[in-house]
Amino acid sequence: MAKRDYYEILGVSRNADKNTLKKAYRNLAMRYHPDRNQGNTDAEHKFKELNEAYDILKDDEKKAAYDRLGHAAFEGGGSSPGQGSGGFADIFEEMFGDFMGGGTGRRSTSPGRGSDLRYNMKISLEDAFNGKQTEIRVPNFVTCSTCDGVGAEKGSKPVNCLICGGRGKTSNQQGFFTIERTCSSCGGAGQVIDNPCKTCNGSGRQRKEKTLSVNIPAGVEDGTRIRLQSEGEAGIRGAAPGDLYLFLNIQSHPIFQREGSDIYCRVPLEMVTASLGGAIHVPTIDSKRAKVAVPSGTQTGRQFRLRGKGMSVLRSVSRGDMYVEVEVETPVNLTDRQRELLEEFKKDSGVEKTSPQSHGFFNKVRELWEDLRY
Protein backbone atom coordinates (compact mmCIF):
# COMPACT_ATOMS: atom_id res chain seq x y z
CA MET A 1 0.00 0.00 0.00
CA ALA A 2 1.34 3.43 -0.96
CA LYS A 3 2.62 5.59 1.88
CA ARG A 4 0.58 8.61 2.90
CA ASP A 5 2.01 12.08 2.49
CA TYR A 6 3.85 13.15 5.67
CA TYR A 7 2.22 16.59 5.69
CA GLU A 8 -1.20 14.99 5.36
CA ILE A 9 -0.46 12.68 8.31
CA LEU A 10 0.35 15.66 10.54
CA GLY A 11 -2.48 17.76 9.10
CA VAL A 12 -0.29 20.73 8.19
CA SER A 13 0.56 22.62 5.00
CA ARG A 14 3.87 22.14 3.17
CA ASN A 15 5.11 25.55 4.28
CA ALA A 16 4.42 24.94 7.97
CA ASP A 17 7.18 26.13 10.30
CA LYS A 18 8.82 24.02 13.01
CA ASN A 19 6.57 25.28 15.78
CA THR A 20 3.46 24.37 13.80
CA LEU A 21 4.87 20.91 13.04
CA LYS A 22 5.72 20.34 16.69
CA LYS A 23 2.33 21.48 17.95
CA ALA A 24 0.49 19.25 15.47
CA TYR A 25 2.69 16.30 16.42
CA ARG A 26 2.19 16.83 20.17
CA ASN A 27 -1.59 16.86 19.89
CA LEU A 28 -1.83 13.79 17.65
CA ALA A 29 0.82 11.81 19.52
CA MET A 30 -1.03 12.19 22.80
CA ARG A 31 -4.30 11.19 21.11
CA TYR A 32 -2.98 8.01 19.49
CA HIS A 33 -0.33 6.92 22.01
CA PRO A 34 -0.57 3.13 22.72
CA ASP A 35 -0.83 3.73 26.48
CA ARG A 36 -4.12 5.51 25.86
CA ASN A 37 -5.36 3.10 23.19
CA GLN A 38 -4.45 -0.37 24.40
CA GLY A 39 -5.56 -3.04 21.94
CA ASN A 40 -6.45 -0.48 19.26
CA THR A 41 -4.41 -1.52 16.21
CA ASP A 42 -5.64 1.44 14.17
CA ALA A 43 -4.35 3.90 16.77
CA GLU A 44 -1.07 2.01 16.95
CA HIS A 45 -0.66 2.29 13.16
CA LYS A 46 -1.44 6.02 13.21
CA PHE A 47 1.01 6.55 16.07
CA LYS A 48 3.79 4.90 14.06
CA GLU A 49 2.89 7.03 11.02
CA LEU A 50 3.07 10.19 13.14
CA ASN A 51 6.52 9.33 14.46
CA GLU A 52 7.83 8.56 11.00
CA ALA A 53 6.41 11.75 9.49
CA TYR A 54 7.63 14.03 12.29
CA ASP A 55 11.09 12.40 12.35
CA ILE A 56 11.55 13.46 8.72
CA LEU A 57 9.89 16.88 8.70
CA LYS A 58 11.56 18.20 11.88
CA ASP A 59 15.02 17.63 10.35
CA ASP A 60 15.97 20.33 7.83
CA GLU A 61 18.06 18.03 5.61
CA LYS A 62 15.56 15.17 5.59
CA LYS A 63 12.69 17.60 5.00
CA ALA A 64 14.50 19.16 2.02
CA ALA A 65 15.12 15.72 0.53
CA TYR A 66 11.47 14.72 1.10
CA ASP A 67 10.14 17.96 -0.43
CA ARG A 68 12.25 17.29 -3.52
CA LEU A 69 11.93 13.54 -3.98
CA GLY A 70 9.08 12.40 -1.73
CA HIS A 71 9.29 8.94 -0.15
CA ALA A 72 11.85 7.91 -2.82
CA ALA A 73 14.45 10.02 -0.99
CA PHE A 74 14.67 7.34 1.71
CA GLU A 75 14.56 4.22 -0.42
CA GLY A 76 17.56 2.14 -1.39
CA GLY A 77 19.73 2.74 1.69
CA GLY A 78 20.10 5.37 4.33
CA SER A 79 18.42 5.64 7.66
CA SER A 80 14.87 4.44 7.66
CA PRO A 81 12.37 7.20 8.43
CA GLY A 82 11.33 7.04 12.03
CA GLN A 83 14.09 4.61 13.00
CA GLY A 84 14.60 4.75 16.75
CA SER A 85 11.31 6.60 17.34
CA GLY A 86 8.22 5.48 19.16
CA GLY A 87 9.24 4.94 22.80
CA PHE A 88 7.39 7.00 25.37
CA ALA A 89 10.65 8.60 26.53
CA ASP A 90 11.07 9.92 22.98
CA ILE A 91 7.52 11.28 22.91
CA PHE A 92 7.97 12.88 26.33
CA GLU A 93 11.19 14.54 25.17
CA GLU A 94 9.49 15.88 22.01
CA MET A 95 6.46 17.20 23.87
CA PHE A 96 7.91 18.45 27.16
CA GLY A 97 11.66 18.68 26.60
CA ASP A 98 11.57 22.46 26.21
CA PHE A 99 9.96 22.80 29.65
CA MET A 100 12.11 20.23 31.47
CA GLY A 101 15.51 21.51 30.39
CA GLY A 102 15.61 19.27 27.33
CA GLY A 103 15.26 20.38 23.74
CA THR A 104 18.76 19.25 22.86
CA GLY A 105 17.84 18.99 19.21
CA ARG A 106 18.31 15.98 17.01
CA ARG A 107 18.34 12.66 18.88
CA SER A 108 21.19 10.23 18.33
CA THR A 109 20.30 6.63 17.44
CA SER A 110 22.88 5.41 20.00
CA PRO A 111 24.79 7.09 22.84
CA GLY A 112 27.75 9.02 21.45
CA ARG A 113 27.06 8.11 17.83
CA GLY A 114 28.85 10.39 15.40
CA SER A 115 26.85 13.03 13.56
CA ASP A 116 25.84 12.61 9.93
CA LEU A 117 27.53 15.02 7.54
CA ARG A 118 26.30 16.70 4.37
CA TYR A 119 28.54 17.53 1.41
CA ASN A 120 27.17 19.61 -1.47
CA MET A 121 28.88 18.68 -4.73
CA LYS A 122 28.61 20.43 -8.09
CA ILE A 123 29.06 18.39 -11.25
CA SER A 124 28.72 19.16 -14.95
CA LEU A 125 26.01 17.75 -17.21
CA GLU A 126 28.73 15.73 -18.95
CA ASP A 127 29.72 14.20 -15.59
CA ALA A 128 26.08 13.28 -14.97
CA PHE A 129 25.99 11.62 -18.40
CA ASN A 130 29.29 9.74 -18.17
CA GLY A 131 29.52 9.14 -14.44
CA LYS A 132 32.55 10.20 -12.49
CA GLN A 133 35.15 8.82 -10.10
CA THR A 134 36.58 11.59 -7.97
CA GLU A 135 38.02 12.45 -4.58
CA ILE A 136 36.63 14.87 -2.03
CA ARG A 137 38.24 16.35 1.09
CA VAL A 138 35.96 16.63 4.09
CA PRO A 139 36.80 18.30 7.44
CA ASN A 140 35.79 15.65 9.93
CA PHE A 141 36.15 14.10 13.35
CA VAL A 142 38.12 10.84 13.09
CA THR A 143 39.07 8.22 15.68
CA CYS A 144 41.87 9.50 17.93
CA SER A 145 45.17 7.96 16.85
CA THR A 146 46.65 8.21 20.36
CA CYS A 147 44.02 6.29 22.34
CA ASP A 148 42.40 4.43 19.40
CA GLY A 149 39.05 5.98 20.27
CA VAL A 150 38.94 4.79 23.89
CA GLY A 151 39.32 8.31 25.28
CA ALA A 152 41.65 7.25 28.10
CA GLU A 153 45.43 7.54 28.42
CA LYS A 154 47.48 4.45 27.66
CA GLY A 155 47.47 2.11 30.60
CA SER A 156 44.08 3.22 31.87
CA LYS A 157 40.52 2.51 30.80
CA PRO A 158 36.99 3.83 31.31
CA VAL A 159 34.98 2.59 34.28
CA ASN A 160 31.24 2.15 34.68
CA CYS A 161 29.33 5.28 35.62
CA LEU A 162 28.20 5.18 39.24
CA ILE A 163 25.06 7.23 38.57
CA CYS A 164 23.47 5.00 35.91
CA GLY A 165 25.36 1.77 36.63
CA GLY A 166 26.67 1.59 33.09
CA ARG A 167 23.24 1.81 31.42
CA GLY A 168 23.74 5.34 30.06
CA LYS A 169 20.20 6.23 31.16
CA THR A 170 18.44 7.12 34.37
CA SER A 171 14.80 6.27 35.12
CA ASN A 172 12.18 8.13 37.09
CA GLN A 173 8.71 6.78 37.90
CA GLN A 174 5.89 9.34 37.76
CA GLY A 175 2.47 7.78 38.20
CA PHE A 176 2.04 5.15 35.51
CA PHE A 177 4.78 6.76 33.37
CA THR A 178 8.38 5.64 33.51
CA ILE A 179 10.52 8.47 32.20
CA GLU A 180 14.00 7.67 30.93
CA ARG A 181 16.66 10.30 30.37
CA THR A 182 20.21 10.24 29.12
CA CYS A 183 22.54 10.10 32.10
CA SER A 184 23.89 13.59 32.76
CA SER A 185 27.05 12.19 34.38
CA CYS A 186 28.36 10.05 31.52
CA GLY A 187 26.39 11.62 28.64
CA GLY A 188 24.81 8.27 27.76
CA ALA A 189 28.11 6.43 27.30
CA GLY A 190 27.62 4.34 30.43
CA GLN A 191 31.28 4.86 31.37
CA VAL A 192 33.43 7.68 32.69
CA ILE A 193 37.13 8.38 32.26
CA ASP A 194 39.32 9.27 35.22
CA ASN A 195 42.48 9.77 33.15
CA PRO A 196 41.45 11.26 29.79
CA CYS A 197 43.65 11.14 26.69
CA LYS A 198 45.57 14.40 26.29
CA THR A 199 45.19 14.39 22.51
CA CYS A 200 41.40 14.20 22.36
CA ASN A 201 40.53 15.28 25.93
CA GLY A 202 38.66 12.05 26.48
CA SER A 203 36.32 12.25 23.50
CA GLY A 204 38.08 9.49 21.58
CA ARG A 205 38.19 11.53 18.40
CA GLN A 206 40.11 14.39 16.84
CA ARG A 207 39.55 16.94 14.08
CA LYS A 208 41.18 16.01 10.77
CA GLU A 209 40.55 16.49 7.07
CA LYS A 210 39.58 13.24 5.40
CA THR A 211 40.02 12.31 1.73
CA LEU A 212 37.34 10.04 0.28
CA SER A 213 36.94 8.39 -3.11
CA VAL A 214 33.46 8.93 -4.54
CA ASN A 215 31.79 7.17 -7.46
CA ILE A 216 29.11 9.20 -9.25
CA PRO A 217 27.05 6.78 -11.38
CA ALA A 218 26.01 7.73 -14.90
CA GLY A 219 22.46 9.09 -15.16
CA VAL A 220 22.21 10.88 -11.80
CA GLU A 221 19.79 13.81 -11.61
CA ASP A 222 19.96 17.14 -9.87
CA GLY A 223 19.35 16.70 -6.14
CA THR A 224 20.43 13.04 -6.07
CA ARG A 225 21.55 11.97 -2.59
CA ILE A 226 24.40 9.47 -2.23
CA ARG A 227 25.00 7.89 1.17
CA LEU A 228 28.52 6.95 2.25
CA GLN A 229 27.92 4.70 5.22
CA SER A 230 30.09 5.27 8.32
CA GLU A 231 31.99 8.12 6.65
CA GLY A 232 30.47 10.81 8.87
CA GLU A 233 31.89 11.97 12.19
CA ALA A 234 33.53 9.36 14.41
CA GLY A 235 31.50 8.51 17.49
CA ILE A 236 32.52 9.51 20.99
CA ARG A 237 34.78 6.96 22.72
CA GLY A 238 34.45 4.31 20.07
CA ALA A 239 30.71 4.69 19.43
CA ALA A 240 29.40 4.11 15.91
CA PRO A 241 30.29 6.74 13.30
CA GLY A 242 27.70 8.74 11.42
CA ASP A 243 27.15 8.71 7.67
CA LEU A 244 28.16 11.16 4.97
CA TYR A 245 25.51 12.29 2.48
CA LEU A 246 26.48 13.77 -0.88
CA PHE A 247 23.88 16.04 -2.45
CA LEU A 248 24.53 16.55 -6.17
CA ASN A 249 23.91 19.81 -7.97
CA ILE A 250 24.13 19.62 -11.77
CA GLN A 251 25.33 22.89 -13.25
CA SER A 252 23.49 24.51 -16.15
CA HIS A 253 24.87 23.84 -19.63
CA PRO A 254 25.46 26.51 -22.30
CA ILE A 255 23.90 24.39 -25.07
CA PHE A 256 21.77 21.58 -23.63
CA GLN A 257 18.74 21.60 -21.35
CA ARG A 258 17.82 18.40 -19.56
CA GLU A 259 14.38 17.05 -18.77
CA GLY A 260 14.64 13.65 -17.12
CA SER A 261 16.51 11.38 -19.51
CA ASP A 262 15.87 13.62 -22.55
CA ILE A 263 17.99 16.51 -23.79
CA TYR A 264 16.80 19.60 -25.65
CA CYS A 265 18.93 21.77 -27.87
CA ARG A 266 17.89 24.98 -29.66
CA VAL A 267 19.77 25.47 -32.94
CA PRO A 268 19.76 28.58 -35.20
CA LEU A 269 19.03 27.71 -38.85
CA GLU A 270 19.97 29.76 -41.88
CA MET A 271 17.01 31.08 -43.84
CA VAL A 272 18.28 29.57 -47.07
CA THR A 273 18.63 26.08 -45.55
CA ALA A 274 15.20 26.40 -43.97
CA SER A 275 13.73 27.42 -47.32
CA LEU A 276 15.52 25.01 -49.67
CA GLY A 277 16.21 22.14 -47.27
CA GLY A 278 19.54 20.56 -46.46
CA ALA A 279 21.40 19.06 -43.52
CA ILE A 280 22.97 20.39 -40.35
CA HIS A 281 25.32 18.79 -37.83
CA VAL A 282 24.59 19.30 -34.13
CA PRO A 283 26.69 18.43 -31.05
CA THR A 284 25.59 15.64 -28.71
CA ILE A 285 26.17 15.12 -25.00
CA ASP A 286 28.68 12.32 -25.68
CA SER A 287 31.01 14.82 -27.42
CA LYS A 288 30.08 13.62 -30.91
CA ARG A 289 28.05 15.08 -33.77
CA ALA A 290 24.73 14.04 -35.22
CA LYS A 291 23.35 14.79 -38.67
CA VAL A 292 19.85 16.27 -38.96
CA ALA A 293 18.05 16.30 -42.31
CA VAL A 294 16.11 19.56 -42.71
CA PRO A 295 13.22 19.47 -45.20
CA SER A 296 12.45 22.49 -47.36
CA GLY A 297 10.05 24.99 -45.86
CA THR A 298 11.10 24.31 -42.25
CA GLN A 299 9.66 26.84 -39.79
CA THR A 300 10.92 28.15 -36.45
CA GLY A 301 9.97 25.87 -33.57
CA ARG A 302 10.05 22.61 -35.50
CA GLN A 303 11.60 19.78 -33.47
CA PHE A 304 13.65 16.87 -34.72
CA ARG A 305 13.94 13.79 -32.51
CA LEU A 306 17.23 11.91 -32.32
CA ARG A 307 16.52 8.58 -30.65
CA GLY A 308 19.05 7.33 -28.11
CA LYS A 309 21.08 10.55 -28.15
CA GLY A 310 19.92 11.84 -24.78
CA MET A 311 21.09 11.26 -21.19
CA SER A 312 22.17 7.99 -19.65
CA VAL A 313 19.49 6.30 -17.56
CA LEU A 314 20.54 5.48 -13.99
CA ARG A 315 21.39 1.80 -13.50
CA SER A 316 20.57 1.04 -17.14
CA VAL A 317 22.37 0.74 -20.48
CA SER A 318 19.63 2.68 -22.27
CA ARG A 319 19.61 6.40 -23.08
CA GLY A 320 16.95 9.02 -23.52
CA ASP A 321 16.33 11.02 -26.70
CA MET A 322 17.62 14.35 -27.94
CA TYR A 323 15.26 16.97 -29.35
CA VAL A 324 16.65 19.59 -31.72
CA GLU A 325 14.46 22.67 -32.06
CA VAL A 326 15.35 25.01 -34.92
CA GLU A 327 15.02 28.78 -34.97
CA VAL A 328 15.11 30.25 -38.46
CA GLU A 329 17.50 33.19 -38.53
CA THR A 330 16.65 36.28 -40.56
CA PRO A 331 19.67 37.48 -42.59
CA VAL A 332 21.39 40.66 -41.37
CA ASN A 333 24.13 42.91 -42.76
CA LEU A 334 23.00 42.37 -46.35
CA THR A 335 25.13 43.53 -49.26
CA ASP A 336 23.57 45.59 -52.02
CA ARG A 337 23.48 42.54 -54.29
CA GLN A 338 21.80 40.38 -51.65
CA ARG A 339 19.22 43.07 -50.99
CA GLU A 340 18.59 43.35 -54.74
CA LEU A 341 18.06 39.59 -55.04
CA LEU A 342 15.60 39.60 -52.17
CA GLU A 343 13.67 42.47 -53.76
CA GLU A 344 13.45 40.45 -56.97
CA PHE A 345 12.30 37.42 -55.01
CA LYS A 346 9.61 39.52 -53.34
CA LYS A 347 8.29 40.78 -56.71
CA ASP A 348 8.33 37.38 -58.41
CA SER A 349 6.81 35.33 -55.57
CA GLY A 350 3.15 35.09 -54.67
CA VAL A 351 2.78 35.71 -50.96
CA GLU A 352 -0.07 33.25 -50.65
CA LYS A 353 2.22 30.46 -51.88
CA THR A 354 5.62 31.30 -50.36
CA SER A 355 4.30 32.62 -47.02
CA PRO A 356 0.89 31.00 -46.51
CA GLN A 357 0.82 31.55 -42.74
CA SER A 358 1.37 35.31 -42.85
CA HIS A 359 -0.97 35.59 -45.85
CA GLY A 360 -3.72 33.74 -44.01
CA PHE A 361 -3.20 35.73 -40.82
CA PHE A 362 -3.49 39.13 -42.44
CA ASN A 363 -6.52 38.00 -44.45
CA LYS A 364 -8.23 37.23 -41.13
CA VAL A 365 -7.18 40.63 -39.79
CA ARG A 366 -8.68 42.39 -42.81
CA GLU A 367 -11.92 40.44 -42.41
CA LEU A 368 -12.03 41.43 -38.74
CA TRP A 369 -11.54 45.10 -39.60
CA GLU A 370 -14.28 44.90 -42.23
CA ASP A 371 -16.68 43.42 -39.65
CA LEU A 372 -15.85 46.18 -37.17
CA ARG A 373 -16.80 48.85 -39.69
CA TYR A 374 -20.42 47.75 -39.70
Distance between CA 120 and CA 137 in Å, rounded?
12
Name 312's Cβ contacts closer than 8 Å, sequence gap at least 6: 128, 129, 130, 131, 218, 219, 261, 319
Q: Is residue 161 part of an annotated ligand binding site?
A: yes
Contact 210, 142 (CB under 8 A): yes
Q: Is residue 183 part of an annotated ligand binding site?
A: yes
| Residues, the chain | 374
205-216 vs 322-329, strand pairing mode = unpaired
Secondary structure letter of residue 74 according to DSSP: G
Q: Which residues pair with 293 in a beta bridge?
A: 279
Distance between CA 233 and CA 179 in Å, rounded?
29
For helices 41-57 and 60-69, the axis angle rounded to 10 degrees is 100
Distance between CA 86 and CA 45 in Å, rounded?
11
Q: Is residue 265 part of an annotated ligand binding site?
A: no
Known binding-site residues for Zn(2+) equal 144, 147, 161, 164, 183, 186, 197, 200
Known binding-site residues equal 144, 147, 161, 164, 183, 186, 197, 200
